[in-house]
Amino acid sequence: MVTPKGPKVLEYNVRFGDPEAQVILPLLEGDWGEVFKSVARGELMDLNWRPLYCSCVVLAAEGYPQTPVRGAIIEGQIKYQTPSSYFLHAGTALSANDEWITQGGRVLNAIGIGSTLKESVDLAYSQASKVSWVGMQLRKDIGARA
């Protein structure tokens, strides 16, 4: 969070399913598989980072976080992607009717990658606008202070 004395870290998650990790992973210049292979061998390789920004907007189910509604049909372009924006599935399922439905609290993460923070935020929100469902929740303040 940003305080009058600058940014402060309250919590930092690095599980691959967390938005905090999902904005770091795309910025590696290289192959994460090679990084993990190196770590498994007890070696540390040099990591090179792309000089870009990455933002994530979480699209959540109605009732999240206490009691997320499952089974809402996801409308729109769930497969939409560009080289600079895409969805990561977090709480989705494919129904018996071949429709994408909500299946958890954090349903989709809209990712945007840009040459500036503003561009990455704009791309993430543009990506988020490609889908909707009844009761969909998303924060509208991501990146607003930057």
Residue 98 region, left (φ>0) first, then alpha (ψ -120 to 50), else beta?
A: left
Give the pLDDT confidence score for residue 13 in this predicted structure.
Answer: 67
95 in Cβ contact with 32 (< 8 Å) = no
Q: Where are the beta strands (DSSP E) in 1-146?
A: 2-3, 6-7, 53-60, 75-76, 85-89, 92-94, 100-102, 106-114, 131-132, 137-138
Q: Who's near 78: CB < 8 A, 6+ residues apart?
A: 87, 92, 100, 108, 130, 131
120 in Cβ contact with 63 (< 8 Å) = no
Give the pLDDT confidence score for residue 146 in this predicted structure.
Answer: 74
Pick the CATH number of 2-138 from 3.40.1790.10, 3.40.50.720, 3.40.50.1980, 3.90.600.10: 3.90.600.10
Domain boundaries, the chain: 2-138
pLDDT along the chain (146 residues), means of 10: 84 77 93 96 95 97 96 98 97 96 96 97 98 96 84
Give the pLDDT confidence score for residue 7 in this predicted structure.
Answer: 85
CA distance 45 to 37: 10
The amino acid occupying position 112 is G
Give the pLDDT confidence score for residue 17 in this predicted structure.
Answer: 78
CA distance 53 to 114: 5
